[in-house]
Amino acid sequence: MRLLGYADALGVKHIVFGHQPGTYTFNDGSIREKGTMFQNFHGLVFLIDMGMSRGVDYSHGGLLRINATSATEVFADGTQKQLWP
């Protein structure tokens, strides 16, 4: 079963995944850089682990806000970055 099939079986529109803080390369060649939030597959998958710990030198924290048509990363200082679309 492909990823979209899993999402359909669960009745969800997005899959949010943590505990993967390092660089990750998807099968389609897109790369999520270490310590960043990332989305792939048109908003289906979000990687959110940014190393949010005192023991991690690049830790800066953030919040993922998803609604029906978009997803935004909100940083600790209040600035925002649109992740999807």
Q: 57, 43 in Cβ contact below 8 A?
A: no
* pTM (two decimals): 0.84
CA dist 67 and 73 (Å) reads 12
pLDDT for res 43: 93
Query: Is a pLDDT exceeding 70 seen at residue 1?
Result: no
SS3 21: coil
pLDDT (tens digit, 9 = 90+) per residue, 7-63? Answer: 999 999 999 998 888 899 988 899 999 888 999 999 999 999 887 777 777 667 789
Query: Is a pLDDT exceeding 90 seen at residue 6?
Result: yes
First-to-last C-alpha distance (Å) of the chain:
25
Q: Pick the more confident residue, 76 or 56.
A: 76
CA dist 3 and 19 (Å) reads 18
